[in-house]
Amino acid sequence: MALLPILEYPDPRLKRIASPVTVFDAGLKQLVANMAETMYAAPGIGLAATQVDVHKRVIVIDVSQDKSELKVIVNPEIVAASGETMAEEGCLSVPEYYDSVRRAANVTLKAQDAAGDTYTLEADGLLAVCIQHEMDHLQGKLFVEHLSQLKQMRVKTKMKKRHREMDRN
Ligand code: NI
């Protein structure tokens, strides 16, 4: 397994739209294993392939306290959504920035696992929010792009400063 570098906002590669997975081979299993390792090491509760510069519809999520509930989500589709929630979100591609985004409170997800088997998942709470956040990544959208233009400008300024400081070190 290997840790993968995570792209950070406003890297233009985060805007690429991911393609559906059509081949469920050892390469996909390796990608999923590396993404899970990268997410846990960060540490984070979700990671989309887009964030590691792989533009395929692959997500890993684990919202459990003890890292015991890894969800592998390939070719996700939200088949039903209801309610509304406003929860504070963060993102491994936008470090040290948190803000609230409006999302559906309940979603029904249809997806495939790493072997290509289709499953359905009913989600609410943090898991529902996380699924929607990660699916946005696959469409080239970050959670900060749900915020006002002013807030987005502030985040960009903050990230520029961060990247300047990283370049210096
Ligand atoms: Ni994110």
Going residue by residue through the chain, which has 169 residues, state the pLDDT in tens, using 9 for 90 and above. 799 999 999 999 999 999 999 999 999 999 999 999 999 999 999 999 999 999 999 999 999 999 999 999 999 999 999 999 999 999 999 999 999 999 999 999 999 999 999 999 999 999 999 999 999 999 999 999 999 999 999 999 999 999 999 988 7
Which of 106, 109, 107, 94 is closest to 147 using CA atoms? 94
Q: Which of 77, 134, 145, 165 is catalytic?
A: 134
User: Please, which residues bridge with residue 103 across strands?
Assistant: 85
Q: What element of type H or E holds 84?
A: none
Which domain does 119 fall in, by range? 12-168
**CATH assignment of the domain containing 45:** 3.90.45.10
> How many Å lie between the centroid of ligand 1 and the Cα of residue 105?
18
In a domain, 112, yes or no: yes
As a whole number of angstroms, the distance between CA 114 and CA 33 comes to 10
> How many Å lie between the centroid of ligand 1 and the Cα of residue 142?
6
In a domain, 144, yes or no: yes
The answer to whether 131 and 111 are in contact (CB under 8 A) is no
In a domain, 133, yes or no: yes
> Alpha helices of the chain — where are they, by DSSP H?
26-41, 125-138, 149-168
In a domain, 31, yes or no: yes
The amino acid at residue 5 is: P
In a domain, 7, yes or no: no
Catalytic-residue membership of 84 = no
As a whole number of angstroms, the distance between CA 102 and CA 100 comes to 7
> How many Å lie between the centroid of ligand 1 and the Cα of residue 47?
6
pLDDT at 3: 96
- Rounded to two decimals, the pTM is 0.97
The amino acid at residue 139 is: Q
The answer to whether 39 and 74 are in contact (CB under 8 A) is no
- Three-state DSSP state, 70: coil
pLDDT at 1: 73
The amino acid at residue 103 is: R
pLDDT at 168: 87
In a domain, 65, yes or no: yes
Tally of domains within the chain:
1
pLDDT at 169: 79
In a domain, 6, yes or no: no
In a domain, 32, yes or no: yes
